Every structure is written in structure tokens, then in C-alpha cells.
A and B are shown apart, each in its own frame.
Chain A
């Protein structure tokens, strides 16, 4: 191997809590792993499972989905709906053999900058141990070779 493996992590976060929490981590000068790519969305209710699949399709090794704690949603109930959706989606991923450790869910409020930094470090370490998600990415190679016809 020429270069050591650096995990690619995609974080889908809601703008009112987790994004603000990430912002707080930055303004508090907390250092966390630079492996995360943050995608800001209006609410966790906006986060379709398609986003997660798309991230994996495009080469993410882990995905984090994070939003406001229950009861704190800016839109009152977006995170409650999202929670049901994730429960079902997680069961589906597990049943089809996509490792659950690669898809994480969390509640991080705008005041929890430290929690955000810690979580990102933890996910990065865990993903580094798991290694690249070649299982899924190899399915993608099948596309690339086929599409060159």
C-alpha cells in the first residue's frame, strides 16, 4: 500500500442543532479529525435514506446522521419522524448485511460542541479499524468497468 488508509466520513446534520454544535466545536478551538464531510440540511426529517445510500455509493466509509434531541426540533416533530425512519432503515441495512457500525445516528444539540468533536474522533478511529468499505465499493467497480463499453 502506497498511502495509509484515511477514512471518508459523511455527516448529514440538521442546521439548527448539530451544525450549530459543529460550529461551536470550531469556535471553541476543539480539534477533531479532518475526515468528516459535513452536509447541512434543514432538519433530520429532510434526511432521506437515499442520502445515506448515495454517500456509500460515492465512496463514503462511514456515515453519520445527526440532529436535535427529541423535543428540541425547530419544526417540532421532524426528528421524531426521522427516528422512526432510521429504526426501520437500520433493520433493513442489518438484514441485507451492510455493517451497522458504518451508519451512526446521534442527537447533538447546539451546545454540545465537545460531544460533536468526540463523536467524530470516535467514528474516525472506528472506521480506521474497520478499514475501507470495499465490500460496497467493489459493487461500484462493476459499474465502472461495465460503463466503459
Chain B
């Protein structure tokens, strides 16, 4: 039995026993190489689940949908390690109760083989060490290093050009599991912190604010990068922020669900070389 059939029957069993009210997984997409989220509420619907190497989206973003978990019932969800990492972060930020999430874990190896991950509760997956030793894709590191090697002026020009493309569709915010604020700061208009029309200053501010709000919270799933319709390399900024948090505070987001959010905690001997 392939992993797809195995997970289909597991999802169907969860639904028919009434343990979960909903399973969030993948269904067929609009083209052969795309997958689309599928929300199964009956065992019959669970037969439509697809699980293969094209299932790269981070489905944990649907867990924070308003009202989904407020009835105290459980929800099943297909998650890769980066999704499990997001769930860890969401739990540490008190956005999820660990007992409400049943995880159908899988990993994609070498970009083609789908292997199951043992466990169903968040506590079954000890991903801390894997996350610490995990290196992001080489093209991300190389691109970030290239930017860091530039002069400040060149960096500004680089990002000015990238952010000038932004159409403020907020797809990056929509797809991100960490962007769960009921009212995003960009939607606040009294005072209007971020200019909302599509010009470069407002785009700059929006992207800076989003990167700052994700500092030490990003699970590096790359969903924002994939969602961006104008291909702004958003994950580079998030990668740089993650690197900073790690070097300055030895903090890696989503190692476990008990950690305190990095910007909501402190140590008395945190580095402060830049403060006069």
C-alpha cells in the first residue's frame, strides 16, 4: 500500500470514528503538477486526498482560520516538517491548543519520495535538532550572501527595484500561518502607519514591517515566496531575520512548542554593541 492510500484510510478512520471533525489535506489541482487544499468532513471525502511530491504547501495556515478550533473539537492536518514547525510556533504563541491538532506527518525526500513521519500529536515529533542542523536551500543562502556583500546603497537599490514590483495584494500575508492578527497593522488607518497605495515607499514600509513581525517566528516554509505574484524574493528577508535571531539570541523558531517567543522574552546579557 502506498503512502497515499495509507493516509487516505487513516484520515477516513479519524473522520468515521468522530475523533476529528475535519481533515485538511491535498486534492487534485488545476494542472497535473499542482495540488489544492482539500477539506474533508466525511470518510467519503477523505478518499479524494492526494499525497505526492507536489504537496509542498504549508497547510498549518488553515488551522488559525477564525473560529475553526473554537468549538474545542479536533482537526486533522497533513503537515511536512516545516508545517510541524509552524504548529510549534503557533502553540508557543498560544494560538493553538496542542491537543486539538492531529498531525498526519510526511516528508518529501530528494524532491520526489514521500515518506511518512511517525506520530500524530505535536509532542510525537521532536524536530528541534533537525531544525537546528537544517540548512536552507543553497540558492537562498547564496542570494542572501550576495546581497550582504553589496554596499548599503546597492542593497537599497536592489530592494527598491524588488519592492517597486509589489502590488500590495497581501498574498504573502494570506498564505502565512504566522499572519493571524485579526487586524493587520497595514489595515490600520488611524493612524495610517503604512501607505496603502501602490507606490514604492508604501511597499518598502509594508515589506519591512512584515519582515520585522516575522523575525524569530518564521518557519521558513517559503510559502510567501511561492505566493508572491510578482516574484519578490521574500524568503531572503525572512532568512536574514532568522539568522540574526539565531546569532544574537541563539534562538531557532519552532524547535519545540514550549519556547518563549524571542521578542517577548529577554536575557539581561543580550548583546548591545550598537547602543551608545
Does B170 belong to the interface (CB within 8 Å)?
A: no
Measured between C-beta atoms, what is the minimum distance from B203 to chain A in Å?
Answer: 9
Asked whether A119 lies within 8 Å of B276 as measured between CB atoms, the reply is yes
| Cross-interface CB contact of A143 among B152, B195, B266, cutoff 8 Å | B195
Does A46 belong to the interface (CB within 8 Å)?
A: no
Given contacts A97-B157, A107-B275, are A91 and B270 in contact (CB under 8 A)? Answer: no
| Cross-interface CB contact of B208 among A77, A85, A96, A135, cutoff 8 Å | A96
Using a CB–CB cutoff of 8 Å, the interface residues on chain B facing chain A are: 147-148, 150, 152-160, 185, 191, 193, 195, 197, 199-202, 204-205, 208-209, 211-212, 215-216, 237, 240-241, 244-245, 248-249, 262-268, 270-272, 274-276
Which applies to chain A's interface (DSSP): helix, strand, loop or mixed?
helix
Docked CA distance A100–B276 (Å)? 13
Closest 7 CB pairs of A and B: A97-B156, A97-B155, A139-B201, A80-B266, A91-B244, A106-B276, A88-B215
Docked CA distance A142–B249 (Å)? 38
Docked CA distance A139–B195 (Å)? 12
Question: Across the interface, which residues of B come within 8 angstroms of A146, CB to CB?
Answer: 197, 199
Docked CA distance A93–B207 (Å)? 11
Question: Across the interface, which residues of B come within 8 angstroms of A107, CB to CB?
Answer: 275-276
Which residues 59-95 in A have Cβ within 8 Å of B in the complex?
70-71, 77, 80-81, 83-95
Docked CA distance A91–B157 (Å)? 17
Measured between C-beta atoms, what is the minimum distance from A103 to chain B in Å?
Answer: 9
Q: How many A-B residue pairs have CB under 8 A?
A: 127
Given contacts A88-B241, A97-B155, are A83 and B208 in contact (CB under 8 A)? Answer: no
Docked CA distance A54–B185 (Å)? 13
Measured between C-beta atoms, what is the minimum distance from A88 to chain B in Å?
Answer: 4
Asked whether A96 lies within 8 Å of B155 as measured between CB atoms, the reply is yes
Asked whether B270 lies within 8 Å of A83 as measured between CB atoms, the reply is yes
Measured between C-beta atoms, what is the minimum distance from A32 to chain B in Å?
Answer: 15
Question: Across the interface, which residues of A come within 8 angstroms of B197, CB to CB?
Answer: 143, 146-147
| Cross-interface CB contact of A89 among B204, B212, B262, B267, cutoff 8 Å | B212
Name the residue in A54, A97, A105, A135 with the highest tally of chain B Cβ atoms < 10 Å from its Cβ.
A97
Docked CA distance A52–B132 (Å)? 33
Asked whether A97 lies within 8 Å of B154 as measured between CB atoms, the reply is yes
Docked CA distance A49–B263 (Å)? 13
